[in-house]
Amino acid sequence: MKNLIKSLTIIGTFLLIYSCTHQTNTKTFSKYLWKNSDKEYTKYRIPAMILTQKGTVLTFCEGRHGDGGDRSDIDLLVKRSSDYGETWSEFSIVWDDGANTCGNPCPVIDQTTGRIILMMTWNSSAYGYDAVKKEINGTRRPFMCYSDDDGMTWSKPEDLTATCKNSDWEWYATGPGIGIQLKSEKYKNRLVIPANHSYYTDNQNEWGFKKGIGLGSHVILSDDGGATWRMSTSITPRCNESQLVELSDGRLMMTMRSYAGMGCRSISYSEDGGETWSQVEHALQLVEPACQASILEYGQYNGKKMYLFSNPAAVEDRICMTIKTSFDDCKTWSNAKLIADNKAEYSCLTVLPNGNIGLLFEFGKVEEGWKDNGLMFVSIYPDELFTPGTLLDCNLWK
């Protein structure tokens, strides 16, 4: 009898501890992760976030010096969390090439090996905004590095220009956001990285950096764990910064920043694992003021496969960070949860080990002259997406 009581006591204690831990780990909370007021850099921008096989959350961003522009002195940074985002390491530098631009992080995990592959882009800052020109030695180029120790250290960046950039392109950017590894049997384990570029065109109805230059998206693909990479066909016109998901039937859906004047995202589909893409369509439910966005397969929620989409859900200004949900393979978006009712720009989603949704996004304050504050990490209990009201109180941001 004593042994039975002892066993029941142990079980009860375990269940109590498990219950408390479960409740703590699945709560909704936010962390002011990268503060522009820290002064180590002028500005932190371009968020990317991914979960490693060991359950570590990695957040990447650009640390910008000087004027904080897209082609200025930029270092690529990373922070790590081993407790679902409750606490974070100090940042470490993945890539610093002096005064040159090292940015546009776009990581992916090879689930067969656990290797963390990080796609990036580089350009010489000596040319300023002319750094996009294909003729100069310091033009925009895609690079890759990787980590085999859970994001602690990184390999020397490798230039992928020869196989991943068309010689007719000027601008080039990976993501920004994340890549995916395919699950469908035909293309299982293929790595797919969304990217975008500018190109020459005679179509006067195009829109780009200047007359005769259009904007498009594409992906880069690897079937050997990242040892070699190749380009897909291009998706045009009037689209760039892109993210993608794999649908239940094995098709890929790309969602892209649009310059078509429709006030919403552009989308395209691939039926061959990302090699070729359909004509551009417009996702009228995904309202947006021409900005980056994030899309993610969450997994099962209440017995149904759920997809998530985050962006500033407004037509003209980058405000109102919102997460939308879809339960029909991204055909329709049945619910929208307002995360923050203030300035909001780029974002990245991930699924945390406890089932919470991780969101990393750029935020600021409209009432302070559209001030950029930095990057906010939010851990969201999934049920919170279906409750009334705004998730975060922006009055608490300082």
Q: Rounded to 5 degrees, what are φ and ψ at 353? A: -60, -25
Structural domain includes residue 19: no
Contact 324, 309 (CB under 8 A): yes
The phi, psi pair for 51, rounded to 5°, reads -105, 125
Q: Is residue 256 part of a domain?
A: yes
CATH number at residue 355: 2.120.10.10
The C-alpha angle with vertex 276 and arms to 275 and 279, in degrees rounded to 5, equals 155
Would you say residue 24 lies in a domain? no
The residue segments making up the domain with residue 138 are: 30-396
Is residue 340 a part of any domain in this protein? yes
- Residue-wise pLDDT tens digits, 251-307: 999 999 999 999 999 999 999 999 999 999 999 999 999 999 999 999 999 999 999
Which residues lie closer than 8 Å to 192 by C-beta, 6 or more apart? 108, 179, 180, 181, 182, 219, 220, 221, 244, 252, 273, 274
Q: Is residue 82 part of a domain?
A: yes
Q: What is the pLDDT of residues 341-383, one digit of tens each?
A: 999 999 999 999 999 999 999 999 999 888 899 999 999 999 9
Query: Based on the structure, what is the number of domains in the chain?
Result: 1
pLDDT tens digit at each of 398 positions of the chain: 444 444 434 334 333 333 333 334 579 999 999 999 888 899 999 999 999 999 999 999 999 998 878 888 999 999 999 999 999 999 999 999 999 999 999 999 999 999 999 999 999 988 877 778 888 888 999 999 999 999 999 999 999 999 999 999 999 999 999 999 999 999 999 999 999 999 988 876 676 667 788 999 999 999 999 999 999 999 999 999 999 999 999 999 999 999 999 999 999 999 999 999 999 999 999 999 999 999 999 999 999 999 999 999 999 999 999 999 999 999 999 999 999 999 999 999 999 999 999 999 999 999 988 889 999 999 999 999 999 999 998 876 66
Task: Examine residue 241 and state whether it is found in any structural domain, yes or no.
Answer: yes
pTM score, two decimals? 0.92
